[in-house]
Amino acid sequence: MGNSYDKVKNDKNELKEEYDHLVISKQEMSLELRKITSNLESVLKDNEDIKEDKLEMKRDYESTIEELKCNYKTQSVAYNELKLENETLKMQNSLNLKEFEHLNTAYENTDNTKKELESKMNTTLKDFEILKMENTNMKYEIQNHTSKIENLEKF
């Protein structure tokens, strides 16, 4: 009779230790989940900043195109009258083209950065879902162990 009581008491202590370990694991997972959530919010903020930068670059791009169109019309009208002014406009067009190429390269770099951030965000979201499932499983395990402890205490 004494052995059964000691065994039950020992089992209860083991379950209590396992329960305490699960509670600590849950707390650690909650902390990790908060870190991931913070990182996700940061990635989302960065993504919004990139969208704003992209829109600004698009406006700059459209503005440069309009400027190039204006320069072209000016060239066409002035061509027969002023050859020297025509050469000046050609140089201006060359500078505008370099600026356009610079903006286009910056736009492509921004698009690549956006894709990288979206990939990181998707990975973070997957990690978040895994942690959520693990947290739920942990909760069920804790409930199960709590029930076992309560049953043992009734015994």
Tokens of 145: 């162990």
Report the percentage of the chain scoring pLDDT > 70. 94
pLDDT band, very low/low/confident/very high, at 103 (cuts 50, 70, 90): confident
What is the distance between the alpha carbons of residues 99 and 67, in angstroms, rounded to a whole number? 12
7-10 contacts at long range (C-beta below 8 A, 24 or more positions apart): 8/152, 8/155
pLDDT at 36 over 60: yes
* pLDDT tens sequence across 119-144: 999 998 898 899 899 999 999 988 98
Q: 67-95 pLDDT, tens per residue?
A: 999 888 877 776 667 777 667 778 999 99
H or E element that contains 8: helix 2-78
Mean pLDDT of the chain: 87
Structure-model confidence comparison of residues 112 and 133, the more confident one: 133
Residue for token pair 């919004």? 48
In sign, the C-alpha dihedral spanning 11, 14, 19, 20 is: positive
Q: Are 19 and 128 contacting, i.e. CB atoms less than 8 angstroms apart? A: no
